[in-house]
């Protein structure tokens, strides 16, 4: 089947060579099964801390918790069902005590990280964020604070009239451990202007990653697709990420998922299906040759498809995610415990191993 070998492209991929955007567009049109085989081959060529002597047999996951410290946001993204304004009766800002309770529960479950993001709140002060980071770092030193997406950090720089580098440096000093790749959506400004006109543009998103990586903070990278973008836009998004990784080298992993339309302003003719998700994940694994890790997205696709995705280039099953509020607001709710994740990984033929944010194996 991989003998399709059109114009030597298969040989190029199996040799671990870099492909270009036109070749990616050609690959996108290939049979899904062929893409899966090639993506798995590229997965086996990847090098990262989670690969030991039997690394090809290992699939990792992390025990963490999403904490959305506020749902107040003034950028009104059309694809988001989570945000509220200060006029809405169900808007909130979590107290330190509420966050502590969530962290206590995470610690009891053996968790090692929080993914902490919120809306672009127009009134929270710089000291509010610094105090929160310092408090968590002091009280929960075993928990990595994986927090504040690039649009949030650009929002802070504007709101506090501070250079972006200073904001990130001060946050790191206060306890920030790494940065999530949220807010990437599609890194093409024409698309961003249609789905989130008030959110930071592509170059501003990448600027955060450049500075964070220079300051020693690793980050993930993401893509949300299946709305108004074209296939060419998706490939341009991957190109921007690959170029950024060439420059700064701080991305630990790539995660893609499909737009979840329920309860959102942005409407599509039909939701993106499973085969399209698997196709894009496989294509990303092949194209992003400088990304060591790729997560399957069971949170949006469901546990069984998350398991199937392990045969399409993924080497990580993501997170136990004790709490999730954003995707579930758009009508998609899946929950898994550690034991279930490990069973799914084993049933797919791999050895499950817990990891930390830097893909170092635990236990």
Specify the fold of 2-354: TIM Barrel (3.20.20)
Percentage helix, strand, coil, to 5, in the chain? 45, 15, 40
Number of Cβ atoms within 10 Å of the Cβ of 33: 14
pLDDT: which is higher, 64 or 88: 64
Query: Which residues lie below 8 Å from residue 261, measured CB to CB, with a gap of 6+?
Result: 79, 227, 267, 268, 271, 330
- Residue 259 has what pLDDT? 83
Report the alpha-carbon distance of residue 256 to residue 244 in Å, rounded.
Answer: 17
Please tell me the pTM assigned to this model.
Answer: 0.90
**Domain edges within the chain:** 2-354
The residue that leads in pLDDT, 271 or 1, is 271
- Measured between alpha carbons, how far is 30 from 279 in angstroms, rounded to an integer? 9
Do 309 and 296 contact (CB within 8 A), yes or no?
Answer: yes
pLDDT recorded at residue 328: 44
When pLDDT is cut at 50, 70 and 90, the band that residue 292 belongs to is very high
Q: What is the dihedral of CA 61, 67, 72, 75, to 10 degrees?
A: -20
DSSP per-residue letters across 297-359 = -HHHH-HHHHHHGGGTT--EEEE--S---HHHHTT------HHHHHHHHHHTT-EEEEB-TT-
Q: pLDDT tens digit string along 293-336? A: 999 988 888 899 999 999 999 999 998 866 545 444 434 455 68
């Amino acid at each position: 089947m991989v003998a399709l070998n059109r114009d030597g492209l298969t040989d190029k991929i199996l040799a671990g060579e870099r492909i270009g955007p036109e070749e990616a567009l050609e690959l996108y049109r290939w049979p899904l099964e062929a893409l899966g085989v090639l993506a798995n081959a590229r997965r086996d060529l990847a090098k990262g801390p989670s690969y030991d002597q039997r690394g090809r047999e290992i699939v990792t996951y992390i025990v963490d918790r999403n904490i959305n410290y506020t749902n107040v946001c003034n950028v009104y993204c059309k694809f988001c069902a989570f945000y509220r304004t200060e006029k809405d009766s169900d808007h909130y800002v979590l107290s330190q005590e509420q966050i502590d309770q969530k962290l206590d529960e995470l610690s009891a479950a053996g968790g090692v990280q929080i993914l902490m993001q919120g809306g672009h709140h127009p009134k929270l002060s710089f000291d509010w964020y610094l105090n929160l980071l310092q408090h968590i770092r002091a009280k929960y030193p075993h928990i990595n604070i994986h927090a504040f997406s690039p649009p949030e950090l650009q929002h802070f720089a504007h709101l506090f009239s501070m250079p972006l580098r200073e904001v990130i440096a001060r946050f790191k000093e206060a306890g920030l451990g790494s940065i999530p790749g949220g807010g990437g959506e599609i890194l093409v400004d024409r698309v961003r202007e249609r789905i989130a006109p008030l959110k930071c543009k592509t170059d501003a998103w990448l600027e955060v990653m450049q500075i964070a990586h220079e300051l020693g903070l690793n980050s993930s990278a993401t893509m949300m697709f299946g709305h108004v973008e074209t296939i060419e836009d998706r490939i341009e998004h991957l190109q921007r990420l690959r170029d950024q990784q060439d420059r700064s080298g701080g991305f630990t992993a790539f995660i893609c998922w499909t737009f979840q339309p329920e309860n959102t302003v942005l409407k599509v003719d039909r939701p993106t299906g499973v085969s399209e998700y698997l196709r894009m994940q496989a294509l990303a694994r092949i194209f992003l040759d400088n990304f060591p890790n790729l997560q399957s997205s069971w949170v949006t696709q469901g546990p069984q498809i998350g398991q199937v995705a392990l045969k399409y280039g993924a080497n990580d099953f993501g997170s136990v995610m004790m709490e999730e509020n954003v995707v579930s607001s758009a009508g998609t709710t899946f929950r898994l415990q550690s034991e279930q994740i490990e069973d799914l990984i084993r049933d797919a033929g791999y050895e499950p191993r817990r990891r930390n944010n830097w893909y170092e194996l635990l236990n």
